[in-house]
Amino acid sequence: MKTRARLSPVACFIFVLTFLVLFGPRLFAQEPSREELTRRYESVLSQAEQYGLSSEDPLEILPKLREAKYSLDRDSLQEAGAALDQAAQDLKLWSSLNRSTGETRKLQWLETYWDILQKFAFLALIAFLFIRSSSWRTALKRRNFPILLKLRLSLFTVILAGLFWGLDVYRYGSSVFAFFDMRIVLIIVSGLIGGWLTSLPVALILGAIAILMGDLSPWPLGLMIASALISGVASRWVKRYDRSVKMALGCGLAVGLIHGAVVYIPSVSVLPPLYMAFSMLLLAGLETAGVVLFFAVVSAVLREELSRDTENELLRTHLLFLQAQLRPHFLFNALNTIADVCHNGKTDIAEKLILKLSEFLRHSLDRKEERATFREEMNFMEAYLEIEKARFGESLCVEKKIDLPESVWDMKVPLLVFQPLVENAVRHGLRKKQGGGTLKITACVKEKILRVEISDTGAGKPEGFFADLISGKTNKVEGTGIGVRNIHQRLVRAYGADHGLQYEGTPSQGTKVTVRIPALIEGDKP
């Protein structure tokens, strides 16, 4: 809780610092002088006359110049500068529309594709970093967003949009013909995730910043608010974020078409109908693709995470099944053995066996967690062997060679790994060989890897049998298949593919299984 309490002030400090770094120079920059604005006015007016705008002025550049002149005459230098900026930008656009050659247009489109590809790459990277956060992965999987998490998302979105804005990579196109705006995409994303309570503050803050920076046109703020509300409403129909791409597609397309209409319909008298329709669809398609790309990355990571959760749950179910498997038959055999010992009058041995049985049952029955210390697992295995040695007598010979540092004995390992392997060696190896045999258990640490080897001189199995057993190709051995596969999968899941079970053996020569687990040496972090 203390960490969360400190998170909001730190995030606010980062936001304020980012804002000042990006926009401070603009906010505190000195106003241009009247002489400088006059020179700019004369330069833009001269270019307009060169293009013959006196007879044809579809973008209304000359009225903007007249407005700039009127503001200059009244000494309204800020208004004059804004009007001149707009006129110069529109004049540049008009020049590109009327004077581009075929080769120039090809280069322009190539630059356009590259610029938009960069923005898609930014969005994919943002989505990947976002979904790497454990708190957001959990919230998206459960579809449960506390108010603090929504506020964090709003703040993160504003900072991100401000960063793109400050670096001037937030959109492609001029103020009139812009056809990809990262602000709109980020607002839609925040709305689809956190609802309108997340996206609406983002829209209002970004719209206010736009006005503060001199963009007095009403449509950017209106479009941002519309994007926030549409995506916020659409979020109510998102049932699972690992399958959210269709909703992202619909929401992005709706907002993109509105954006296209706002941008291009005012120029209906200038642009041919087909060109305008193509431009509107292109804008809608690109912004939709940006939203879909973000949620495609999020959905892919979530699906993998949910699949991993399902596998873990299945392994836990198998573990419970394995626990249930080992209790009844072993308990009956142990009780029969203790009864025989009591019948023969060996009460001291019977008492020892009862204590070992209680230790065995306590470890196997009274476990809520999925891990135990290595010492507990070895004691559990020892309790099992003591009962089996009392049962089989001299036909079961056990040799142990365990030389480990104290830190390894106390480290946590997956539950029920070693005892089932020993039981397999006794039941399916030594008991099936006439006269019994020897069970050998060794444990050592080599190159920070704990190696526990369990070998028997029993009946053995054909070559490749245990490889098929671990892979699931065969499960014909009674009581062995599920246990061996489950143990191997749990070890691989916990420690990686380089760990798990490794079997060796041939028919009539016995079997050896090696368990490889990273060892916790003294001084290492647990």
Q: What is the pLDDT of residue 44?
A: 78
**Residues near 29 by beta carbon (within 8 Å), at least 6 away in sequence:** none
Question: Would you state the pLDDT for residue 19?
Answer: 53
State whether the Cα torsion 54-47-170-103 is positive or negative.
positive
B/e letters for 420-455, b = 16+ CB within 10 Å, e = fewer, are bbbbbbbbbbbbebeebbebbbbbebeeeebbbbbb
**141's tokens:** 């999987």
- CB 107: neighbour CB atoms within 10 A? 11
Q: Which residues of 130-160 are buried (b: 16+ CB within 10 A; e: fewer)?
A: bbeeeebbebbeeeebeeebbbbbbbbbbbb
Q: Give the model's pLDDT for residue 472.
A: 65
Residue 2 is predicted with a pLDDT of 40
Domain residue limits, the chain? 39-93, 102-311, 394-518
What is the Cα–Cα distance from 297 to 304, expressed in whole angstroms? 11
Sequence letter at residue 151:
L
Burial tier of 282 (Cβ tally within 10 Å: 0-12, 13-18, 19+): middle
Q: How far apart are CA 509 and CA 14, in angstroms?
A: 68
Which backbone phi and psi does 400 adopt, to 5 degrees?
-130, 140
Using the structure block, give the residue that is written with the tokens 């399902």.
Answer: 310
Cα–Cα distance, 249 to 296 (Å, whole number)? 10
Q: Which tokens hold the place of 36?
A: 């400088």
> Which string of DSSP letters, residue by residue, matches 438-449?
EEEEEEEEETTE
Do 190 and 154 meet the contact criterion of CB atoms below 8 Å apart? yes
How many of the other CB atoms lie within 10 Å of CB of 280? 21
Q: Which of 383, 37, 22 is nearest to 209 (CA)?
A: 22
Give the three-state DSSP class for 411: coil
Task: Give me the pLDDT at residue 435, please.
Answer: 77
Closest CA to 89 of 50, 63, 55, 61: 61
Angle CA(306)–CA(307)–CA(313) in degrees, nearest 5?
A: 85
Q: Indicate if 394-518 has the same CATH topology as 102-311.
A: no
Q: How many CB atoms lie within 10 A of CB 34?
A: 12
Q: Which residues pair with 445 in a beta bridge?
A: 450
- Give Cβ neighbours of residue 389 (< 8 Å, ≥ 6 apart): 396, 398
Instruction: State residue 404 phi and psi, 5-degree precision.
Output: -135, 150
CATH class for the region spanning 102-311: mainly alpha
Which sign does the torsion angle of CA 467, 470, 473, 479 carry?
Answer: positive
Cα 157 to Cα 190: distance, rounded to the nearest angstrom: 7
SS3 content of the chain, % helix, strand, coil (to 5): 70, 10, 20
The helix or strand, by DSSP H or E, that contains position 122, with its residue range, turns out to be helix 102-131
The CATH number given to 394-518 is: 3.30.565.10
CA distance 526 to 519: 10
Residue 20 pLDDT: 52
Among 251, 388, 398, 373, which Cα is nearest to 330's?
388
Q: What is the pLDDT along the chain (526 residues), one digit of tens a residue?
A: 343 434 445 555 555 555 554 445 444 545 667 777 788 888 877 777 776 666 566 667 778 888 888 787 777 777 777 778 777 777 776 666 555 444 445 555 566 667 777 778 888 888 888 888 888 888 887 777 888 888 888 888 888 887 777 666 555 544 434 567 888 888 999 998 988 888 889 888 888 877 776 665 667 788 888 888 998 888 888 888 877 888 889 888 898 888 888 877 777 766 677 877 887 888 888 888 888 988 888 888 888 877 776 666 655 655 555 555 555 556 766 777 777 778 677 777 777 778 777 776 666 665 566 788 898 888 888 887 887 887 777 788 889 999 888 889 999 888 778 888 888 888 788 877 777 788 999 999 988 899 999 998 887 887 778 777 777 666 554 444 457 877 888 888 888 888 888 888 777 778 899 999 998 765 554 4
Written as six digits, the tokens of 73 are: 């005459």
Sheet containing strand 437-446, edge to edge, reads: 396-402, 437-446, 449-456, 510-518, 500-506
Alpha carbons 119 and 106: distance in angstroms, whole number: 20
- Is residue 83 classed exposed, middle or buried when 0-12, 13-18 and 19+ CB atoms within 10 A define those classes? buried
Q: What phi, psi does 515 have (nearest 5°)?
A: -105, 125
Q: What is the C-alpha to C-alpha distance for residues 417 and 322, in angstroms, rounded to an integer?
A: 11
Q: Tell me which amino acid residue 120 is.
A: F
How far, in Å, CA of 133 to CA of 156, rounded?
13
